[in-house]
Copies of this chain bind each other. A is one copy, B any other.
């Protein structure tokens, strides 16, 4: 295999692509009519599970429940609602999160402890629990029906359920974020990986910064899953920033139900881990691209750093700079702002040895401006994806972060989100 060629390939089915996983979404009318807003992801056998969560001191109620239910490293289902964050509402919030798990359990024949719960939406407002639970009942019935009917024989229906789940977790997202990959293994057989994510506002590196759910039919113990997920998140979701605000509700969950019958080892294991990371990066880029009001994806690569932490700090600092973001929107090759954002990132480097490139165009060398074609710069900045590269000439480490431009639309969206 060529080193640039991937061992896995895209496939259909989204989050329900892995064997034994089912998913659906329904319209419960939580905040809007005609919007999918309740999703359930279900495994027909017990799955090993891992999770990473927001580091915000203020955490939404379902986070506490999910962390508790994941203590044993196992889960059967994830229930998610959009339209209400179930955060900062006191005891009601804990009760509501538990009720969501309980109703899923009742309908799907699970202990509430095997159900994980996630919410996203407005903070500080009690969720309309009746509507949420009604939605859960409907979704559960649909899923049961799918399981009984052996929905796997009905590809379109399975795909549609998974797609509705992807729709149901969206809030201000403008594009669906769902992927499915399959990895042929050396011992024969195929491992599937599926994922959905949401995120567009309140996005900033500090753990998940969004919701992400990943399923696989590989067999791996939860401790391994936890490490794989943690490492993948660090290079993907944690490297995305839209507006510097770390949400109270962020979480990424990974469920592995073993239904492929394959416990990947050797090269298969290496490929599996790469595949998870690659999928997380795709989702992370989608989140940046879909940043609230964004018109462009910004990818910032920092090389030549002394430590990987320095490279990450600088890449994230640049992606998070309002001035860089506004300059990107205005297609203004203001590299001074890029260097400035590197300077206040907290990372160690020598400002007088830094090169800055926009795409393949050198705009600063050894920390100072060089003559460059403004037309060429304008052209590069006019693309939908803009690649900013820094070489610190200070070491061997590198990191990449993703962000988006700051637009009038961002201000409009966030000036009136709640009301």
Contacts and interface: CB of A to CB of B under 8 A. Distances in A.
B58 A343 contact: yes
B333 A243 contact: no
Interface residues of A, number: 70
Interface of A: 55-59, 85, 87-90, 122-126, 201-202, 204, 206, 243-248, 320-323, 326-327, 329-337, 339-344, 347-349, 351-352, 364, 366-369, 374, 406-408, 410-419
Nearest to A348: B57
B337 A245 contact: yes
A247 B340 contact: yes
A364 to B, nearest CB: 6
Which residue among A201, A245, A320, A351 has the maximum number of chain B CB atoms within 10 Å of its CB? A245
A59 B244 CA distance: 24
B340 A245 contact: yes
Task: Say whether chain A's binding surface is mostly helix, strand, loop, or mixed.
Answer: loop
Nearest to A55: B344
Which residue among A206, A347, A366, A418 has the maximum number of chain B CB atoms within 10 Å of its CB? A418
Nearest to A336: B123
Contacts of A344: 55-57, 204, 206, 245-246
Given A122-B334, A124-B369, A374-B419, 9 more contacts: A55-B344, A123-B334, A124-B339, A124-B368, A243-B323, A245-B337, A322-B410, A329-B415, A330-B416
B244 A321 contact: yes
A368 B86 CA distance: 11
A244 B88 contact: no
A185 to B, nearest CB: 41
Contacts of A413: 326
B369 A326 contact: no
Nearest to A419: B332
Contacts of A245: 321-323, 337, 340-341, 344
A41 B416 CA distance: 46
Contacts of A89: 368-369
A66 B64 CA distance: 53
9 smallest beta-carbon distances between A and B, as pairs: A330-B415, A123-B336, A58-B343, A326-B414, A124-B369, A124-B336, A56-B343, A246-B344, A243-B322
A244 B245 CA distance: 12
A413 B246 CA distance: 26
Contacts of A334: 122-123, 417-418
Contact of A415 (B201, B327, B336): B327
Contacts of A406: 411, 414
Contacts of A56: 340, 343-344
Contacts of A321: 244-245
Nearest to A374: B419
A115 to B, nearest CB: 25
A9 to B, nearest CB: 38
Contacts of A88: 336, 339, 351, 364, 367-369
A340 B202 contact: yes
Contact of A342 (B58, B202, B337): B58
Which residue among A336, A364, A369 has the maximum number of chain B CB atoms within 10 Å of its CB? A336
Contacts of A323: 201-202, 243, 245, 414, 417
A320 B368 contact: no
Contacts of A419: 330, 332, 374
Nearest to A201: B323
Contacts of A85: 336
A245 to B, nearest CB: 5
A406 B243 CA distance: 12
Nearest to A85: B336
Nearest to A247: B340
Contact of A368 (B55, B57, B90, B322): B90
